[in-house]
Amino acid sequence: DGGITQSPKYLFRKEGQNVTLSCEQNLNHDAMYWYRQDPGQGLRLIYYSQIVNDFQKGDIAEGYSVSREKKESFPLTVTSAQKNPTAFYLCASSETGGPQPQHFGDGTRLSIL
C-alpha cells in the first residue's frame, strides 16, 4: 500500500542535541511538508518542498533544517537552536498543480529529557 512513513514514533532529545526525524513516501508525490502540532493550536508549517533539491521556509522555520535529495524522502532536523522542540511533528505529501489533498504520516512525538 502507498503511504507516508514517519519514524520513530517517539523521540527523546537531550538539551543541546540535534535530532533528525525521518519521512518517506511511496506515493510518487512531488510536494512534501513538515508541520508542528501543539495542544490547542492548529498545524503550523515548518518547511515545504515542491520538487527535489528545492525547499522553502514555512511560518516557523527557525531552529529547524531540512533536505530533499530524493523525491521519496524529506528528513527534518530539529537543532539545538529550537528552544521549545517538544511537540507532535507531522509530515505530509501531495501532488502539485491546483489544490490537492495532503496525505499525512502518523507523526513523531518529540520530547526533551
In order, the DSSP letters of 45-73 are EEEEEEETTEEEE-TT-TTEEE--SBTTB
Residue 46 main-chain phi, psi, to 5 deg: -95, -60
Question: What is the nearest approach in angstroms of other proteins to the Cβ of residue 80?
Answer: 27
Site string for other proteins, 31-50 (x = CB under 8 A): x-x-x----xxxxxx--x-x
Question: What is the nearest approach in angstroms of other proteins to the Cβ of residue 107?
Answer: 6
Site string for other proteins, 7-26 (x = CB under 8 A): --------------------
Q: Which residue has the cell 520538487?
A: 51
